[in-house]
Each structure stands twice: as structure tokens, then as C-alpha cells.
Amino acid sequence: MRTSLLPALAAVTPVLAGFDTWAPPGPYDVRGPCPMLNTLTNHGFLPHNGRNIDQETTENALYDALNLKKTLGGFLFDFAMTTNPIANATTFSLNDLGNHNVLEHDASLSRADAYHGSVLAFNHTIFEETKSYWTDEVITLKMAADARYYRIKTSQATNPEYSMSELGDAFTYGESAAYVVLFGDKESRTVPRNWVEWLFEKEQLPQHLGWKRPAVEFVDGDLERFMGEIQNYTREIENPACESRKQRRRGRVPSHFGF
């Protein structure tokens, strides 16, 4: 009797929302493949059970915690809704986001490919690989481009069922831009590495390390602009000759290097 009441109690146990409130998921709470949505849920900006999240709640959570413009929050909510398999639903749950090849994709920065294991749970080994491309105390968009690119190469080499849709590919750029310029600083286009590691590993906002809600609103065009920058860096990784030509024009690579 007591045991059967637990899920119901977990669903109604209030968790206050806010920067100073944090609780890990309980046994009846769900979480998903997005480290940021999990984090906002642990802080109570989203319902702590991770279930039945509606548009207004999503927009408010992203605005209150991250200063993300509500129209952009609504745009992301519409994507989230495509992962709920129930027809005419008006909410999604965090675990819906893990439905493979809807939004969730292979080559994640901190989760296994569906072929290898759970796409929802944090994966230490994969995150260690990602971290190896963040080669300084401050992560730049170039380092984010490297991490994204080489995680894809690793997945392609190790996953016989590797796949990446056009939408999945766009999401990989968006996610990589988001942890640098939305979670970090969109002026300098950088983010302290210890903030990002804390976010992924603890799913908690790293206020004790100096993180604060961004003072400047993150608006619709921002995401596209920074995704474009990561795409440019990716082209340079794929075609280093291009970069060498550019550097030679800037006079940094002597032309007798033969590029």
C-alpha cells in the first residue's frame, strides 16, 4: 500500500523553482538526453518529475533561468512536441526527447549512440573524449567545432548503424553553439570549461563557479549566427588547405611551406 502510493506522491511533491533550489531526480522522475533541460528540471524551473511539460512552462523556464527569448523557447518547444508519440498531445516528457532519430541523434557529446546503449544516461567515457577537445580553461567555438566533428568521426568508426539526419545534424550544431554562447558568453563567444563540465556531470547550474543568468537576452537570430560560425570552423577542419590559404593571406604561414 505504502509502496504503491510513492509514484503519486512523487508527482505532487512540490519542488520550489529557482537558482537556489536543486534536487536530483527521484526514482519516479524522468530525465532525458539534454543536459540543460535536465538541469532546469533539477532546479524546479521545469516540473521535477520531468513529465507533461507544456509550452508556457517551457518558455518561462528558459526565460527565467537563461534569459532566452520566449519566442525562441516556443520554437524549441514545437520541436520537443515532435518527440511525443501520442497524437494531439500538448505536452512532452523529458524521456520523449530520447526517441531515437526524431531529435535525438548519434555522436552525442555525453551520451552513447542508441546502437551501443542508453541515449538518455550520462556516459563518462564519451564525455572524456569530448573533454579532450576542450584544450584550455576557456572553451571557444573552435574547440566546440573540434569536439563535435571528432565525436562524429568516432561514432562513424565504431557504430555499424551510425546515422545522422539533416535535422539531427542541425541539432548537433545548435547544441554545440548553445553550451558556448547561451550558457556562456555570446559577446566573447567563450565559456569557462569548468562551468560546462559541472553542467554536464552534475546537471546543476554552476553558480558557485561564477555562473549567472546571462544579462543580455538570447534572441532568435543568435543561435543561427553561432551555428554558422561552428559550420565555418568545421569546413576548415574538413579542408585544412582552405585554412592554410587564409592564414598565408594573413601572413601567418610562410608560403614556402608549399600550401
- 72 lines the binding site for ligand HEM (CB under 6 A): no
Give one DSSP letter per residue of 157-221, joined into a string: HH-TT----HHHHHHHHHHHHIIIIITTBTTTTEEEHHHHHHHHHH-S--GGGT----SSPB-HH
Shorter beta-carbon distance to Mg ion: residue 113 or 146:
113
Cβ atoms of 180 and 141 within 8 Å: the answer is yes
Shorter beta-carbon distance to ligand HEM: residue 15 or 178:
178
Instruction: Read off φ and ψ for residue 95, nearest 5 degrees.
Output: -70, -25
Cell reading at 77: 518547444
* The one among 43, 48, 51, 111 contacting ligand HEM by CB under 6 A: 111
Closest CB 247 distance from ligand HEM, rounded Å: 30
Number of residues in contact with ligand HEM under rule CB under 6 A: 26
**Residue spans of beta strands (DSSP E) within the chain:** 138-140, 190-192
Interaction mask 155-194, ligand HEM, x per CB under 6 A? ----------------x---x--xx--xx-----------
183 binds, among ligand HEM, Mg ion, none (CB under 5 to 8 A by kind): ligand HEM
Q: How many CA atoms lie within 13 A of 192 on its CB side?
A: 12
Cell reading at 227: 551555428
H/E stretch holding 125: helix 124-131
- 22 lines the binding site for ligand HEM (CB under 6 A): no
**In a 3-state reduction of DSSP, which class is residue 109?**
coil
- 33 lines the binding site for ligand HEM (CB under 6 A): yes
Closest CB 122 distance from ligand HEM, rounded Å: 8
- 203 lines the binding site for ligand HEM (CB under 6 A): no
Instruction: Read off φ and ψ for residue 134, nearest 5 degrees.
Output: -95, 90
Cβ atoms of 196 and 148 within 8 Å: the answer is no
178 binds, among Mg ion, ligand HEM, none (CB under 5 to 8 A by kind): ligand HEM
The dihedral built from the CA positions of residue 132, 232, 169 and 175, taken in this order, carries a sign that is positive
Shorter beta-carbon distance to ligand HEM: residue 26 or 174:
174
141 binds, among ligand HEM, Mg ion, none (CB under 5 to 8 A by kind): none
36 binds, among Mg ion, ligand HEM, none (CB under 5 to 8 A by kind): ligand HEM
Shorter beta-carbon distance to ligand HEM: residue 175 or 247:
175
**Residue spans of beta strands (DSSP E) within 29-170:** 138-140
Shorter beta-carbon distance to ligand HEM: residue 111 or 186:
111
* The one among 17, 103, 120, 145 contacting ligand HEM by CB under 6 A: 103
Binding site for ligand HEM (CB under 6 A): 33-37, 58, 62, 66, 76-77, 79-80, 97, 103-105, 108-111, 171, 175, 178-179, 182-183
